[in-house]
Each structure stands twice: as structure tokens, then as C-alpha cells.
A and B are shown apart, each in its own frame.
Chain A
Amino acid sequence: MPEPIIHIEHLSRFFGTVKAVDDLSLEVPAGIVFGFLGPNGAGKTTTIHLLLGLLEPTTGQARILGFDTRTQADAIRARSGALLEFAGLYERMSAQDNLDFYGRIYQMPAPDRRARIKELLTHLELWDRRRDQVSTWSRGMKQKLAVARTLLHHPPLVFLDEPTAGFDPIAAAALREDLASLVAREGVTVFLTTHNLTEAEKLCAQVGVIRQGKLVTVGAPDELRARTGGPQAEIVGRGFTEQMLATLRERPEVAHAELHNSHLLLELRGESKMGPLVGLLVQAGAEVEEVRRGKASLEDVFLTLMEEEQR
């Protein structure tokens, strides 16, 4: 079995009494987008800093691309790309010069560098404005340029720290689309931190949830949904009573039932059929107007996990 591209064992980083990352163990296989979810201050950025060897762990260890973060940080940084909290662009320089600088840092030969810059800027529809000073660009364009810089030297692994944070929904969606298409095209492994669950849902094959420095859970979004709650159904109508709710709760296929205004919300076990449940309600005198089935969103999963952790 191939070695995971990120292998973390009991990694901790304390700042005085604050446990920014606390006993984190995690494996990320190659070729996927891994979402690292957590609220603000959960320890996502500190984790990236540790994985890039920019911070020394207090305890534990991590191997990135087979290299130890304590002793081989240079090798990790040479083989990965990073878009951290800020775009990190030189605003007085042109877009082309910004990429050229990082291409030189990663020791790309001049012809390869030029071709790659053209390829990325063209793909991101920035080529025509390559000679503009970056300070004249919009925030969305700058962030796209920063993504291009991250992928410039064909790294097998990139770290993206909340790449759409602070963007309006339209700009965030556009950047997400660009990210998804680039990542798919380049075939890189992505370690993406975010507190945007829609983003994680759209981009990530696996997610890990972190809270107060501790990893709460890890798995594919569907697995997490299954772990924290089954399929859901919503029945819209009139005449629902407590007696009906009690009857539904006794059914083996119903994990949870509750009434919100005139909406009956059910959490089901497995892929249960709705017909018998609706039949029961109608027989008991309820007037059913609409039945909707759905899955718990990643947001529901995340909120459930956060509530469980708080308890």
C-alpha cells in the first residue's frame, strides 16, 4: 500500500497554556482534496505551519511526502506549494514578475518558467493583464494569481489556508470553480483548511473536523453524514399531533422525529421507504401536502459534531 502523502502522529503544539494543536493523528492519501474543517481558532493554520516545518511541534511528529517536518522541512517546502492566510503577492510588481520570482525560487529553467506562467495565467483568464501591477487588480484576481503561484512548480502537494475567506458568494464560487478545475487538471493532493462547509462539500473527497486543536472526526463527507445522522425527510401538511409523533418514533425505521410549525422532520435509519409512514399519518387524520427526502448537509454534520464536543 502506498505511503500516505501526509502522515501525522500525535502532533501537538502548545503556546504557553494554549493547546493550538492537541494530539493530532491523521493520514491523507495522495491525489485527493482533503478538507480540514473547523471554526476560527480551531488550530487549522497552526497545523499547516507545523506541516510545512515553519513551526516546531511541542510533541509528536509528521511526515509529509515522506519527509520529517522537524529535520527535513526544506525538502517539504521545495516539493509543496502554499497559499496561506494572505495572498502574499508583491503588489508593486507585475503579475508576471510575481510568478517569475517564485519560478526562480523553485529553480525552474527560464523556458519552462515562461511556458508555465503563460499556461496558468491563460487558464485563469489573467494573461492579458500579466504586465499590470498587482496593486491594480481586484481581490478575486489576486487570489487567483496566488493559486497560480502555488501550483507553478508542479508540486505534488499544496496547502490552501481558507482560500475563499472574506469573499462575496459570487467571487467565492468563481474561485472555487477555478480551484476545482486546476486541481483536477494538475492531479495534486490538496490540504484545504476552511470553515466554509459548502466549499468542503464541493471540493473535498475527505474531511477532518478539528475543534480546539483536537481532531473530532475524519472521513468522506458521506461517511460523516452516515455517522452523525441518517437520511432525512420532511413532511409538509396539517393536523400533525403529539400522538402521531409518538407513533412514528416507535417505528424501527425512524431514528428521530420532531415537529417544526407545520413541518414534520424525520431522521431515518437507512434508505427506508416513506409510503408506510405517510400512510400512517393519513390514517391518523393528518393532511399531507408534500414529502421531501434529503441528506444531512455537511453543515448539519459539522454543527452536530460541534454540539457533541461541547457537551
Chain B
Amino acid sequence: MNDIWTMMWKESKDLLFQGGWRASIRPLLLIGIMGIYLPLQFGLQWLALSPIELFVILWIPFSVIISFIGDAIAGERERHTLETLLASRISDRAILLGKVVVTVGYAWGMALGGLLLGLILVNLFRGNGGGWMFYHPFDLFLEALALSLLTCLLGASAGVLVSLRTSTVRQAQQILGIGTVVLVFGGISALQALPANFVASLTYSQFLLLVMAVIAVLDAILLGVSLVSFRRSRLILS
């Protein structure tokens, strides 16, 4: 566990928060869209979790993950730091999980920050008095957050697997870009392939739970394959 913390410490310093003031623009921009621009546009409707909002909650953190995670191993390889890391005592699992956790935490944390800011702004600006309003229905809000976390994990697990097998960050990002398109259309096709009466029998909440279960299984498979694929002898030769 200590090793994972160590890796997370390094990742947060190296990947996300270094590079001067410009590095802070990216998260601020996204939090600004999710927490200021969209809530002010939608007003009270923002708290009612419309399909657009659900899409934003899922898509923005996922796209952040996809743009960052390609750097995980391919970036270390490109910057010639991987060999030294592999020659140290840190475990394979710690390297991999440390990178996944920080990237997921960064993207998902940004989404949470945006939602919290949006909640505060909408309540401050709604102007008609009354009590404090929260996202509703609340169970849907929780499901949307969980689904967002699982899609982040899906992007990170797939990304780290791609990053293990590519020699440059650019190559990893290209594959992940194409993979995202395949995933979206594959997901839509899979949903269309489900029997219509089965889908119609599900409540919105049950439908989300079903999607979450499928994504959770995919997460576990991809993360497992990444852990198995992380072989020092192969990485040192790549």
C-alpha cells in the first residue's frame, strides 16, 4: 500500500501539478464549464439531472482520462525514466495502480468539484428564496456519480493497457481516440441489440445499474489484463 501512495505522490507531482501555472488552466477550465457556465445557462434545471447533464457528468471526466492516461507508461518510456523505475524495488502493481488512481482521482475529482460549484451557484442565483435545493432525484445523482467513476476507471484501465504496449504517448493517444469511438458505437449497438421488451421493463435507475454492472466487469477485466501484461522483462526491452 505504501508503494501505491509513493507512486501516487510522484504522479500527482510530475504529471498533473508540474509545468507552472499553465498546468492549472486545464482543470480550472473544465471546472468552469461544469461548475459555472452550464449551471448558469440551465438555472434550476441544472439540478434536475437532465440527460444532457448526465452526458456531461460522464463525458468530461472520461475525455480528461483519455487525454492523460496515454502518458502513463509510454510517457515514462519516452522520457527515459521507465528503465530506472523498473530497476528500483517498487512493485509492478504499485506503478500501475498508482498511475490509475491518480488519473481517475484527478478527472473524477474535477467532475465532483464542478458539480459542487454548480450546486452552490444555482442555489445562490435562483433568486426566488426557499430552502437549499440539491440534485434530484438523489438516487439518480448517486448512480450518475458511480457510473462516472466506473467510466473513468474504464478509460484508465484501457489507457494503461494501451500505454503499456505503445512506444510513444502520441501513438497511445491515437489508439485511445479510436478506441473511444469504437466503445461509444459498440455500446450503442449493444443496447440496441437488447430485446425491446426487456429494456422497456426496466426503470431508469435499473437501466443505469445494468450499465454500471457491465462497465464494472469490463473495468475488472481490463485492469486484470494490465496487471498481467506488466512484465519488467518485456518493458525493459521495449
Partner of A74 from B19, B89, B236, B237 at Cβ < 8 Å: B89
A102 to B79, CA, bound (A): 17
**Which B residues are CB-close (under 8 A) to A159?**
87
Tally of contact residues, A, Cβ under 8 A:
33
A14 to B209, CA, bound (A): 52
Asked whether any CB of chain A lies closer than 8 Å to the CB of B83, the reply is yes
Partner of A88 from B85, B233, B237 at Cβ < 8 Å: B85
**Which B residues are CB-close (under 8 A) to A78?**
89
Asked whether any CB of chain B lies closer than 8 Å to the CB of A91, the reply is yes
A101 touches B237 (CB 8 A): no
Asked whether any CB of chain A lies closer than 8 Å to the CB of B18, the reply is yes
A88 to B80, CA, bound (A): 6
Q: How many A-B residue pairs have CB under 8 A?
A: 75
**Which A residues are CB-close (under 8 A) to B87?**
52, 54, 77, 82, 84, 159
**1/0 contact trace for B12-28 toward A, CB 8 Å?**
01100011000000000
Asked whether any CB of chain B lies closer than 8 Å to the CB of A222, the reply is no
A179 to B6, CA, bound (A): 28
**Which B residues are CB-close (under 8 A) to A52?**
87
**1/0 contact trace for B78-91 toward A, CB 8 Å?**
01110111111111
**1/0 contact trace for B58-82 toward A, CB 8 Å?**
0000000000000000000001110
Asked whether A97 and B84 contact (CB < 8 A) given A49-B236, A104-B6, the answer is no
Asked whether any CB of chain B lies closer than 8 Å to the CB of A86, the reply is yes
Whole-angstrom distance between the Cβ of B19 and the nearest chain A Cβ? 6
B84 touches A92 (CB 8 A): no
A52, closest chain B residue (CB)? B87
B18 touches A92 (CB 8 A): yes
**Which B residues are CB-close (under 8 A) to A133?**
18
Asked whether any CB of chain A lies closer than 8 Å to the CB of B143, the reply is no
A106 touches B13 (CB 8 A): no
**Which B residues are CB-close (under 8 A) to A55?**
233, 236-237
B88 touches A56 (CB 8 A): no
**1/0 contact trace for A83-112 toward B, CB 8 Å?**
111111111110001000110111100000
Asked whether A101 and B84 contact (CB < 8 A) given A55-B236, A93-B14, A133-B18, the answer is no
A90 touches B14 (CB 8 A): yes
**Which B residues are CB-close (under 8 A) to A97?**
13
Asked whether any CB of chain A lies closer than 8 Å to the CB of B170, the reply is no
A52 to B19, CA, bound (A): 33
Partner of A105 from B3, B83, B236 at Cβ < 8 Å: B3
**Which B residues are CB-close (under 8 A) to A93?**
10, 13-14, 18
B81, closest chain A residue (CB)? A88
B83, closest chain A residue (CB)? A84
Whole-angstrom distance between the Cβ of A18 and the nearest chain B Cβ? 12
Asked whether any CB of chain A lies closer than 8 Å to the CB of B192, the reply is no
Partner of B81 from A54, A74, A89, A105 at Cβ < 8 Å: A89
Find the residue from A49, A78, A90, A107 having the highest chain B CB count within 10 A: A90
Asked whether A88 and B83 contact (CB < 8 A) given A54-B232, A105-B88, the answer is yes
**Which B residues are CB-close (under 8 A) to A91?**
79
**Which B residues are CB-close (under 8 A) to A83?**
84
B80 touches A105 (CB 8 A): no
A65 to B5, CA, bound (A): 28
Whole-angstrom distance between the Cβ of B53 and the nearest chain A Cβ? 35
A87 to B85, CA, bound (A): 11
Whole-angstrom distance between the Cβ of B192 and the nearest chain A Cβ? 45
Whole-angstrom distance between the Cβ of B233 and the nearest chain A Cβ? 5
Whole-angstrom distance between the Cβ of A80 and the nearest chain B Cβ? 8
A54 touches B236 (CB 8 A): yes
Whole-angstrom distance between the Cβ of A85 and the nearest chain B Cβ? 7
Asked whether A104 and B81 contact (CB < 8 A) given A54-B87, A84-B87, the answer is no
The chain A residues found within 8 Å of chain B, CB to CB, are 49, 52-56, 73-74, 77-78, 82-93, 97, 101-102, 104-107, 133, 146, 149, 159
21 pairs, CB–CB < 8 Å, chain A vs chain B? A49-B236, A53-B232, A55-B233, A73-B232, A82-B87, A84-B83, A84-B84, A85-B83, A86-B84, A88-B81, A88-B84, A88-B85, A89-B81, A92-B18, A93-B13, A93-B14, A93-B18, A101-B13, A102-B88, A104-B6, A105-B89
Instruction: List the 3 shortest-distance A-B pairs measured between CB atoms, nearest first.
Output: A88-B84, A86-B80, A78-B89
